[in-house]
Structure 1
Amino acid sequence: MKKVIPLLILVLLVLSACSSNSSNQPAKSSGGAPSSPSASASSPASPEASQKSGTITYQSESGPVEVPADPKRVVVLSSYTGNVMSLGVPLVGVDSWSKMNPEFQDKLKDAQEVSDENLEKIIELDPDLIIGLSNIKNIDKLKEIAPTVTYTYGKVDYLTQHLEIGKLLNKEKEAQAWVDDFKQRAQQAGEEIKAKIGENATVSVIENFDKQLYVFGDNWGRGTEILYREMKLKMPQKVKDMALKDGYYALSLEVLPEYAGDYLIFSKNGDADNSFQKTDTYKNIPAVKNNHVYEADAKAFYFNDPLTLEYQLAFFKKHFLG
């Protein structure tokens, strides 16, 4: 059974996870989220316009959009906060999922929490660019406030998504440089991890949300893109069968042992009911008995933007190699 929550992931990371839509599906991640089957990236922004009028033309999913060549007051309504921050572009408004991310809080202390339904607050922020997922509400009204660009989650993979944000913000070179460097570092860490735990060791990523357990595929944040796509660590067959297509799969405690790999990454919501960890079913999972469960703060783990990916990579290196 699939449940749906407001977006994030994250995801956050939610077939509407970082937006303000309410639901009880695990948060959709951002570009990552991670993130699913790749599609053609948008065309590069037009360079000449920036010198003439202070704008560039970005080829979005829905057609060309004239956007600032050097945006100074960006509002992100879902998923892409970390992408924008990593490129050094100022944010004046972000979604609630970004605001609750403990890794983002200091960087976002001056940004206001906004939603796609609170148009008056967005107007007050006087944005020069608005970014969000394609399923946010009031897109036509938002376009009247500022140039608005939306993305369909999973239309391109998580690293291509960052390159698209780079094009939009007129920082494609910076985005490409980070992608190239990150892939090299993540793949190198993967080789070191496989040398330590074995080529055939399996890894599962689980999360608890709203009294429901989930296991994740390779494109829904929570570090799945790093573990499975870059590090090439193995996914248990049951996870592959049930979670790879949609990105996640809801399951009961009784069958969790069937989906548990030799190592478990537990994206843990501290304010949720985690009493299942006290049950014999959970305690008897081999990964639990072998102390191969690595717990991460779910609120910091939802997404697949560069800042979150760096955090996840450091987490994996610490726990697998430390």
Structure 2
Amino acid sequence: MNGDIEIPVLPKRIVAEEYIGSLIPLGTIPVGAPGLTLQNMYFQEALQDVTDTGTYGKMNAEKIFALDPDLIITGNNDSYPTLSKIAPTIVVPYGELKNAHEELTYFGQLLGKEKEAADWLAEYDKRIASAKAKVDKAIPAEATFSIMENADKTTYVYGDNFGRGGQPIYQALGRKPPAEVADEIMEKQWAELSAEVISKYAGDYIILTSNTRTVESFKSDPLWGSLPAVKNDRLYVWKEERSWYYDPLAVLSQTEELADWLTKSK
């Protein structure tokens, strides 16, 4: 986070390239955001009147200038030289704020909305605790979980802070990764896997992002169908529009969605 920036008191016209999922719970709707963010299903409705400022990581400076912002929020250091010429700009690089509590607390203090942050987090904690209690009752504590993505004949495995379900599974629900994931993936957060080693990183349960395949297609696949998680109906497949996001609103919704699946018929 870059400091020594004069932040306006109670800014009214914020352009946010990142962290919108922490602004909405505070009752703060930006005037501009990247097009990809506006497509986020978890807060698409709240952003209907927000101006598209262009591509994430390469926002359109002219569009932003026309919005007359009094504060710009980004996670991209490369954007700072351009954006800071338009309005006071805060850079919070991805990964510096590790969870919903850190995000809401930081932005609550930044925007003078500490009470709104505390109130929202209290409700968040209540709902997360309810989901966790439900899962803890149904799933043994020693069960292992893997977060994966299958795309274009390539498979990736993820840690606890890179979307795809890592935050809800490992952080919110407190579930364990396989030893290989804990030892090799958690620090760097992701890795590409060859077909030969997928089984090495596959836990008792697999949360898998795929835009083109279903549970049934993985079951009929010789490689995937041989994995215990797949054979035992412990594979959850969802599309990237639901799994990629990792903001507090998304994590809360994802946690409850996964908790419902994990406790179904148990």
The question of a shared fold, defined as TM-score above 0.5 by the shorter chain, is answered with: yes
Contact 1:202 1:261 in 2 (8 A): yes
Q: Does 1:99 align with 2:38?
A: yes
Alpha-carbon distance change, 209 to 235 in structure 1, aligned in 2, over 3 angstroms: same
Contact 2:128 2:252 in 1 (8 A): no
Question: Structure 2: which 5+ runs fail to align?
Answer: none
Task: Map 1:34-113 to 2 at 5 A.
Answer: 61-78=1-18, 80-113=19-52
Q: Report the AA paired with residue 83 of structure 2.
A: L
Following superposition, the deviation at residue 236 of structure 1 comes to 0.7
Contact 1:206 1:216 in 2 (8 A): yes
Q: Report the AA paired with residue 76 of structure 1.
A: A
Which residue does 2:224 correspond to in 1? 282
What TM-score do the two structures reach when normalised by structure 2?
0.87
Alpha-carbon distance in 1 for matches of 2:118, 2:191: 32
Question: Structure 1: which 5+ runs fail to align?
Answer: 1-60
Which residue does 2:262 correspond to in 1? 320
Contact 2:2 2:92 in 1 (8 A): no
Following superposition, the deviation at residue 281 of structure 1 comes to 0.3
Alpha-carbon distance in 2 for matches of 1:68, 1:182: 28
> What are the Cα deviations for residues 193-223 of structure 1, in whole angstroms up to 9, with x where unaligned?
1221212111111113455321111111233
What TM-score do the two structures reach when normalised by structure 1?
0.73
Q: Could you tell me which of 83, 89, 98 is aligned with 1:148?
A: 89
Q: Helix, strand or coil for the counterpart of 2:196? A: helix
Alpha-carbon distance in 2 for matches of 1:306, 1:296: 19
Q: Helix, strand or coil for the counterpart of 1:89? A: coil
Aligned length: 258
Which residue does 2:237 correspond to in 1? 295
Q: Could you tell me which of 235, 241, 244 is aligned with 2:183?
A: 241
Which residue does 1:129 correspond to in 2? 71
More helix by share: 2
Q: Does 1:266 align with 2:208?
A: yes
Q: Report the AA paired with residue 139 of structure 2.
A: I
Which residue does 1:221 correspond to in 2? 163
